[in-house]
């Protein structure tokens, strides 16, 4: 793969150039003149340990990857037998190389930026050690603990800010979103690697380098647990997405209806300033909001004409069915109250409980507006979209009655900022077969073969 930096967006070019030039300057500054005595074998040992720990990174959502190399890098920072910060900086620059860098699977600027990230993180850790001002080995625990904490925090913050900034600029996803989605769950794990790094340095110093190397076992176990976290998350989101497409198919929507509702709801929630964990919950609930329709007969679900009162009564049960489908699963249970309330109207005239205003969970209020907007702006089986302008007009007309005015305002602002086509781009693959919805549409328009013979 050959991607040149000058073909990249300006923000990425500025970020990469600024960070790599700064790092190169700092490396030269700390390497000239060379420290008087360097234990080359010791430096190579830490480089090798770091290389092993850097291998096979765990890929987290939104383009960030994590490895357990912070432990040996912190260990090098605390190893008093090394010339510091000279040796730890070079261990960070060389030891964090991965196979994909050597094989050229990453563009060169990516490889340089990643090295720079580690060098700057290690330097931040070193300054934290210097400023907290205690010698590492044999220090009083009362003095050592804050020093360890400061070094770990400085290292982790610089590392995560730089990694998230690059991923955000590259993928176009807001910085805060990358930061939260990627690091919220592994933050504790990364902080736990810092004391292990210090212990590695202590053992390597007092028992011998070979004993420090034994720490590779718990380190690789930690890596394994990160990879299990990433796999579980993928599996969960993949299953929810598959389920939501199954609901779309059964409901007669074109594929991707729930996906679009989910993206609109997520963006509106973010515009309203809700926290990232809540936004994620709302996005998931939006994907599954109509899951209760599984419990509604096809005869009613597919009926092209107006529903009779008794049929309507059955249809109006789908939020209750939905909540009870989600309830038994511990991962999906938090979505149940949102799904249960997704047809509650702002003025209390909705169903199933007739909740009013702020009694309705905010996620449900957002989904109601997003679902209505999506339905009005995309074609359905028996009618065509009414268009963006008229959709907004309708939402404004019914705000305070059916819709929460705050939510409608947020969607309005968002669409003014991003334009009407903002939610068309999806991660779902393009469909190359005739969907159930399209088939039904075709059959409804053309008489079938048996109909033709019947006459």
With respect to Fe ion, which residue has the nearer C-beta, 203 or 261?
Answer: 261
With respect to Fe ion, which residue has the nearer C-beta, 158 or 407?
Answer: 407
Applying CB under 5 A, the site for Fe ion has a residue count of 1
Question: Both tokens of residue 337?
Answer: 């109250």
CB of 120 to Fe ion, least distance (A): 50
CB of 336 to Fe ion, least distance (A): 14
With respect to Fe ion, which residue has the nearer C-beta, 247 or 391?
Answer: 247
Q: Judge contact between 290 and 247, C-beta under 8 A.
A: yes
CB of 319 to Fe ion, least distance (A): 6
CB of 428 to Fe ion, least distance (A): 20
Determine, following the binding rule CB under 5 A, whether residue 344 of this chain makes contact with Fe ion: no
With respect to Fe ion, which residue has the nearer C-beta, 16 or 340?
Answer: 340
CB of 318 to Fe ion, least distance (A): 6
Residues 6+ apart with CB under 8 A from 167: 62, 63, 64, 173, 178, 182
- DSSP 3-state of 429: coil
CB of 342 to Fe ion, least distance (A): 6
**Residue whose beta carbon is closest to Fe ion:** 290
- DSSP 3-state of 363: helix
With respect to Fe ion, which residue has the nearer C-beta, 283 or 290?
Answer: 290
With respect to Fe ion, which residue has the nearer C-beta, 73 or 291?
Answer: 291
In three-state form (DSSP H/G/I as H, E/B as E, the rest C), the secondary structure along 269-310 is: HHHCCCCHHHHHHHHHHHHHCCHHHHHCCHHHHCCCCCCCHH
CB of 437 to Fe ion, least distance (A): 17
DSSP, residue by residue, 178-242? HHHHHHTTTHHHHHHHHHHHHHHHHHHHHT-HHHHHTTHHHHHHHHHHHHHHHHHHHHHHHHHHH
Q: CA 282, CA 296: separation in Å to the nearest integer?
A: 24
With respect to Fe ion, which residue has the nearer C-beta, 181 or 265?
Answer: 265
Chain centroid to CA 263: how far? Answer: 13
Query: Which residues between 282 and 301 bind Fe ion (CB under 5 A)?
Result: 290
Q: CA 274, CA 277: separation in Å to the nearest integer?
A: 9
Closest to 272 in 3D by CA, of 395, 410, 366: 410
Site mask for Fe ion (CB under 5 A), range 238-277, x = bound: ----------------------------------------
Binding site for Fe ion (CB under 5 A): 290
């Amino acid at each position: 793969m050959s991607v040149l930096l000058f073909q990249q967006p300006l923000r990425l070019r500025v970020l990469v150039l600024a960070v790599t030039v700064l790092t190169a300057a700092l490396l030269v500054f700390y390497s000239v003149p060379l420290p008087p005595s360097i234990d080359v074998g010791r430096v190579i040992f830490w480089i090798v340990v770091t290389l092993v720990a850097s291998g096979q990174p765990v890929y987290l959502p939104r383009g960030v990857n994590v490895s357990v190399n912070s432990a040996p890098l912190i260990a090098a920072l605390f190893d008093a037998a090394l010339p510091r910060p000279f040796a730890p900086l070079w261990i960070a620059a060389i030891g964090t190389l991965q196979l994909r860098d050597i094989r050229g699977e990453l563009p060169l600027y990516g490889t340089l930026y990643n090295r720079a990230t580690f060098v700057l993180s290690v330097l931040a850790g070193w300054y934290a050690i210097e400023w907290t001002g205690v010698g590492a080995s044999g220090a009083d625990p009362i003095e050592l603990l804050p020093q360890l904490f400061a070094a770990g925090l400085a290292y982790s913050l610089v590392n995560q800010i730089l990694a998230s900034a690059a991923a955000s600029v590259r993928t176009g996803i807001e910085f805060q979103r990358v930061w939260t989605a990627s690091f919220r769950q592994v933050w504790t794990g990364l902080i736990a690697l810092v004391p292990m790094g210090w212990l590695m340095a202590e053992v390597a110093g007092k028992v011998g380098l070979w004993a420090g190397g034994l720490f590779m076992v718990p380190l690789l176990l930690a890596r394994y647990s990160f990879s299990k976290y990433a796999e579980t998350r993928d599996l969960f989101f993949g299953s929810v997405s598959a389920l939501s497409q199954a609901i779309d198919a059964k409901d007669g929507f074109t594929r991707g209806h729930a996906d679009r509702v989910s993206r609109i709801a997520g963006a509106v929630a973010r515009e309203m300033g809700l926290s990232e964990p809540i936004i994620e919950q709302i996005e998931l609930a939006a994907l599954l909001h109509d899951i209760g329709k599984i419990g509604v007969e096809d005869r009613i679900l597919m009926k092209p004409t107006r529903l009779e009162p008794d049929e309507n009564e059955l249809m109006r049960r789908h939020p209750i069915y939905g909540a009870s489908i989600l309830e038994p699963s511990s991962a999906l249970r938090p979505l149940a109250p949102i799904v249960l309330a997704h047809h509650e109207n702002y003025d209390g005239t909705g169903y199933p409980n007739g909740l009013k205003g702020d009694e309705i969970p905010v996620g449900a209020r957002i989904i109601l507006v997003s679902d209505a907007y999506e339905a009005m702006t995309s074609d359905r089986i028996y009618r065509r979209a009414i268009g963006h302008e008229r959709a907004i007009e309708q939402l404004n007309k019914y705000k305070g009655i059916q819709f929460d005015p705050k939510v409608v305002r947020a969607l309005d602002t968002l669409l003014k900022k991003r334009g009407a086509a903002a939610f068309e781009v999806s991660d779902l693959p393009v469909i190359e077969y005739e969907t159930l919805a399209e088939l039904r549409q075709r059959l409804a328009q053309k008489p079938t073969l048996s109909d033709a013979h019947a006459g």
